[in-house]
C-alpha cells in the first residue's frame, strides 16, 4: 500500500514565518533545521502555559491550591500592652491611658479602641507570647524571614536571608500563572519589608505602589504589538533592550519573562483595578488608604497571588507604630500616636476577615497581624510623657482564617507585660505554620552564596494549637 499522505492542520501557528513544515524543517540536515523544528514544537505553548507547568513542578504534589497569606505588617512595633495584652490591674505607668473591654472569648480583654475585634474574637486567635528577641527594625528582617541572623544592623549578611514570602514564591509559586506570587502594598520604605536575598532578586516582592504606573509598557510598545503572536519573535530583541534601558527589569530570565507577562496581562491589571469592585464593597472598607490596601489584598489573593504584605505605615522612617513619645517626632506617644491608629486598624482587620469569608476565601487565606516587636512595660521612656521604647522580649499577634482552629488565646506574659510567662512562640514557629499552610516541606533548604544549604525553618514547628 502507498504510504499515507501526511496530515495537515487547517490553522496556522506562531512560527509559520520560519517555514518549519517545509522539507528543510522536517529533515535534520542542518542546525537551522533543528532550530526551526524546535520552535515549531513550542508554538502551542504560551508564556502562561509554560509558567503553569513550572508552577506545577515547583508545588508539592499534595498541597492544596489557592492557599494564601495576607500579612498586615504593623511597621514600627505595636505596643502589646496598649492593644491585645492589656494590664488593667497595674499602675498607670504600666497599664497606660486606655481602658480595657471584654471580648467574645470569656476572660479575654483587649484595648477599648478595638471593639470590632472584641466582638469577633471567636474568629481570631490571639497570641500574647511571641518571642521577638534579636528582632529590630529598619530593616525589618527577623520576623519577616524567621531567621535570627537576619539583622542587618549587626550582621553584614543579614539582608541576604529571604522573606517568608520569597520562599513561598520560589517553592510554591502563585495560585495563578498570570499573577505574581509575592506582592507588597503601600511600601513606604525598602527597609520596612524583607526581600529575596540569597534566593535572588527574581524572588523579590512585586511592588504594588503607584498602581497607575505599574502597567505602562516601556518605550513605544503597545499591547497590540506585545500580544501579536505573529510578530512576537521579532519583538523580543527590541523588548529586551527597551526594558533594560528603562531599568524596569534587571535580568531577562524566566522570572523576568513572568514579570513582563504579569504586567502585560489582563488578569493582574484587573486585580489591581479597584474601580471594578462593587461600590457597596468599596464603601464597606471605607476611604482610609490602609483599608483600600486591604481591599486590594483581597482582590489579589482572589486572582491568584499567594502572599501579600501590607506596610501599615504612613511615613518612611521606622514606622507609624513606633510610638516613642510626643517629644520624638514623627512618632507620637501612646495617646496621640497610637490612639488614632487603632480604630482604623480595628475596622481594617474585621472588614477584611468578614469580606474574605463572604467571598469564600477565608478558609484558604491566613490573615496575620503583627510587627517586629512589642513596647516597654513602662511609659515615659526616652524622656517622653507617654511613649514606649522597643521591647523585643515579647509581643502579641493576631491571626484569622487559613482553615486553622481559632477562637482561642495562646500564651501569656508576666503581670507587667515585660516577659513571657507561658508558651513562647518563636519566629520559626510562625514560619513553620505558614509553610505548612502552603504545603511547603519544612525541611526544605536554599543555598547561600558559598553554596551551603540553609534551612527555611530554624528552630520552629507549626503552632500546635492552630492545627
Over residues 222-262, the pLDDT tens digits come to: 555 555 544 454 455 555 555 555 443 444 455 556 666 77
In contact, 410 and 127? CB cutoff 8 Å = yes
CA dihedral 361, 362, 363, 365 (to 10 degrees): 80
Q: How confident is the model at residue 265 (pLDDT cuts 50, 70, 90)?
A: confident
How many residues are there in the chain?
A: 467
Average pLDDT (79-102) is: 98
Q: Does position 28 have pLDDT exceeding 50, yes or no?
A: no
Strand, coil or helix: 135: coil
Q: Give the pTM.
A: 0.82
Between 173 and 43, the more confident residue is 173
pLDDT of residue 329: 86
In contact, 447 and 390? CB cutoff 8 Å = no
Could you give the percent of the chain with pLDDT greater than 70? 75
Q: Does position 10 have pLDDT exceeding 70, yes or no?
A: no
Residue of 437, 432, 363, 441 lying closest to 60 (CA atoms): 441
Q: Does position 85 have pLDDT exceeding 70, yes or no?
A: yes
Is residue 461 exposed (0-12), middle (13-18) or buried (19+ Cβ within 10 Å)? middle
Other C-beta atoms lying within 10 Å of the C-beta of residue 428: 20
Q: Does position 7 have pLDDT exceeding 50, yes or no?
A: no
Could you tell me how many helices (H) and strands (E) the chain has, helices first?
16, 16
Residue of 168, 196, 203, 184 lying closest to 438 (CA atoms): 168
pLDDT of residue 266: 85
Residue with cell 515547583: 58
Which residues are CB-neighbours of 169 under 8 A, at least 6 positions away?
Answer: 180, 181, 182, 196, 199, 203, 306, 307
Q: Is 123 left (phi over 0), alpha (psi -120 to 50) or beta?
A: alpha
Q: How confident is the model at residue 87 (pLDDT cuts 50, 70, 90)?
A: very high
Average pLDDT (127-156) is: 94
Average pLDDT (95-124) is: 98
Walk me through the domains of the chain, giving residue ranges and CATH numbers: 64-466 (3.40.720)
pLDDT, one tens digit per residue, over 315-363 is 999 999 999 998 888 899 999 999 999 999 999 999 999 999 999 999 9
Strands 307-311 and 68-73: parallel
In contact, 152 and 139? CB cutoff 8 Å = yes
Amino acid at each position: 500500500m502507498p504510504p499515507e499522505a501526511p496530515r495537515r492542520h487547517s490553522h496556522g501557528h506562531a512560527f509559520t514565518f520560519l517555514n518549519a513544515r517545509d522539507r528543510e524543517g522536517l529533515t535534520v540536515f542542518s542546525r537551522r533545521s533543528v532550530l526551526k523544528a524546535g520552535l515549531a514544537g513550542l508554538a502551542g505553548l504560551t508564556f502562561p502555559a509554560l509558567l503553569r507547568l513550572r508552577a506545577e513542578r515547583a508545588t508539592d504534589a499534595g498541597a492544596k491550591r489557592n492557599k494564601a497569606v495576607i500579612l498586615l505588617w504593623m511597621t514600627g512595633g505595636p505596643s502589646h500592652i496598649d492593644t491585645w495584652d492589656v494590664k488593667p490591674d497595674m499602675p498607670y505607668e504600666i497599664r497606660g491611658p486606655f481602658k480595657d473591654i471584654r471580648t467574645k472569648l470569656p476572660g479575654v480583654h483587649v484595648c477599648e479602641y478595638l471593639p470590632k475585634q472584641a466582638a469577633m474574637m471567636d474568629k481570631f486567635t490571639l497570641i500574647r507570647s511571641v518571642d521577638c528577641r534579636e528582632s529590630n527594625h529598619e530593616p525589618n528582617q527577623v520576623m519577616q524571614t524567621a531567621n535570627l541572623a537576619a539583622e542587618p544592623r549587626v550582621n553584614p549578611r543579614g539582608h541576604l536571608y529571604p522573606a517568608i514570602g520569597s520562599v513561598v514564591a520560589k517553592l510554591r509559586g502563585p495560585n495563578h500563572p498570570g499573577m505574581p506570587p509575592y506582592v507588597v502594598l503601600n511600601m513606604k520604605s525598602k527597609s520596612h519589608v524583607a526581600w529575596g536575598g540569597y534566593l535572588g532578586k527574581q524572588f523579590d516582592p512585586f511592588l504594588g505602589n503607584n498602581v497607575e504606573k505599574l502597567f505602562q509598557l516601556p518605550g513605544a510598545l503597545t499591547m497590540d504589538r506585545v500580544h501579536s503572536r505573529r510578530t512576537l519573535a521579532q519583538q523580543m530583541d527590541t523588548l529586551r533592550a527597551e526594558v533594560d534601558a528603562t531599568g524596569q527589569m534587571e535580568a531577562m530570565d524566566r522570572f523576568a519573562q513572568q514579570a513582563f507577562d504579569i504586567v502585560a496581562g489582563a488578569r493582574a491589571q484587573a486585580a489591581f483595578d479597584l474601580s471594578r469592585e462593587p461600590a457597596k464593597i468599596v464603601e464597606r472598607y471605607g476611604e482610609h488608604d490602609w483599608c483600600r490596601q486591604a481591599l486590594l489584598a483581597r482582590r489579589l489573593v482572589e486572582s491568584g497571588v499567594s502572599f501579600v504584605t501590607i506596610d501599615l505605615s504612613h511615613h518612611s522612617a521606622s514606622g507609624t507604630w513606633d510610638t516613642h513619645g510626643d517629644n520624638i517626632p514623627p512618632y507620637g506617644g501612646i495617646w496621640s500616636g497610637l490612639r488614632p491608629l487603632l480604630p482604623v486598624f480595628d475596622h481594617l482587620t474585621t472588614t477584611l476577615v468578614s469580606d474574605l469569608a463572604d467571598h469564600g476565601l477565608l478558609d484558604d487565606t491566613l490573615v496575620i497581624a503583627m510587627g517586629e516587636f512589642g513596647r516597654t512595660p513602662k511609659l515615659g521612656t526616652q524622656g517622653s510623657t507617654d511613649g514606649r521604647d522597643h521591647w523585643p522580649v515579647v509581643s502579641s499577634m493576631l491571626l484569622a482564617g487559613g482553615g486553622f482552629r481559632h477562637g482561642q488565646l495562646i500564651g501569656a506574659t508576666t503581670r507587667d507585660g515585660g516577659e513571657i510567662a507561658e508558651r513562647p512562640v518563636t519566629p520559626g514557629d510562625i514560619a513553620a505554620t505558614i509553610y505548612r499552610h502552603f504545603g511547603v516541606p519544612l525541611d526544605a533548604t536554599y543555598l547561600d552564596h558559598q553554596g551551603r544549604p540553609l534551612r527555611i525553618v530554624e528552630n520552629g514547628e507549626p503552632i500546635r494549637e492552630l492545627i
